[in-house]
Structure 1
Amino acid sequence: MSYSINTKDISNATGLLRGAVRAVEKAQMRAINRTASKTRTAASKAIRKDVRLKASYVNENLKVSRKASINNPEAVITGRKRPTRLARYGAKQMSRVAKQASGDTSRGIASGRKQAGVSVAVKKGGSRKKMRKAFLIPLKGSNVMGVFVRTGRGKKDIKHLYGPSVDQVFRAVRTDLKPQIRRNLVTEYERQLANALRQELKR
C-alpha cells in the first residue's frame, strides 16, 4: 500500500494555515477595538458616578485616541489632561441681603442682595463646599462662568480655580474596570475569532 502527497496538498495546507493566521490577527484587532469602545463607555459612567460632571462633557473629553490595527494590536483611551473649570462642578453663586445692592442677573443675584461666595460639589453625592471668598464671573469672550478668588488688591489680581481633570478621575477609576475589561476582551475575542474563521473558510 502506498500514499502519495503532491504539491496541491501542500498548497492547500499552506492556504489553510495562512487563513488561520489572518483570522487570528483580525479577531485580535477587532476584539481589542470593541473592548476599547465598551471600556470608554464604562469609564465615562464610572467617572460620572465619582464626580459631578455632565455626560456630554465627559464623553467629549474621553476618547479612544488610537485604535488597534493588524500591525499594532493596541488601543489607547485618553482623557483630557487639562484641569476642568471648577464652575463645572455644580458651582452655585451664594448671596446675602444687602438693601442697597442692585443685584446681578448674570450670576442669579436678585436686587437687594450681594455676592457671598460660591458653593461647589466635586464628588457625586458629597456635601457642597462653601467658598466664602470665591466669586463667579464670565470668562472673557464667552458666556460661561469661572470660579475666581482674589489674590491682591488690583483689578487683575484674581485667580481662576480648577477641579480634577477628566484624565485624573479616569486614572482613579480605571483600576476598578480591569476585571470587566478582561471579561469583555475574552468574550469578544472568542466571538470575533469564530466569525473570522467562518469568513476564511468561505474564501
Structure 2
Amino acid sequence: MLSQTQLSVSPVFQAVERIGEHDHCQAGGAIGLSGALAAALAQATANATRSQQPTGAQDAAAEFMQQTMKRIRQEFLRLADADAEAILEFVALEERGELLTGYALLCEGPRAMADLAVEAAQAMQSFRAHVCERSRDDLEFALTLMAGVARAAFQLLDSNLRIWPLPELLTGYEPHIARLKDALEALQPRPRIRTL
C-alpha cells in the first residue's frame, strides 16, 4: 500500500488538490514537485537537441544534460515525498524528546532542494551554448522555473531558522545560507526572450 504522504505517485490533479485543500502549508512538497517539472522541461530541450542528430560536442552536451536532468527530476520527487514524511518523523522525534534532531530534519530537506536546484540551474546555463534553436526559449523557461525553485527552497530553510533560532541549528545551517545566497546571485535566467 502506498504511503498517504507520497506526492510523487499521485496524479497531478490529486497532488495539487491535496496541497491546496490542507489547512497547513506543504511548501517543501510544492517546491519539490516544481523542481521535478522544471528539470523535466530542461530534459525535453536536451531530447529535442538530440533529435536534430547533432554531432560532437553538441551531442555529448545534450546526452549529459538528458542524464543530469533525469537524475535531478527523480531526486526532486524523492525529496518531495521525504518532506511529506518529515512531518511525521518530526512528531515521533518530538514525542521522544529529540526536538533538535527533528528541527534539523526539517531544515535538511529545503537545504537539499536548494542545492539540487542550484546544480540544475547551473547545468541549464551551461547547456545554453549547445541547445538546438527550436528549444532555446524552452530552456530559458526551465531555467527561470528552476531559479525560482532554488530561491523558494532557500527561503524555506531561512524561514525554519527564523522559527527555530537555536544556536545549534544556526551554527550548522548559517554556512549553507551564506553559500546558497552566493550561488543564487550567480544564477542568470534571462529577463526577456526577445533580447537574447
TM-score (norm 1): 0.26
Q: Which has the larger radius of gyration?
A: 1
Considering fraction of residues, name the structure with more strand.
1
TM-score (norm 2): 0.27
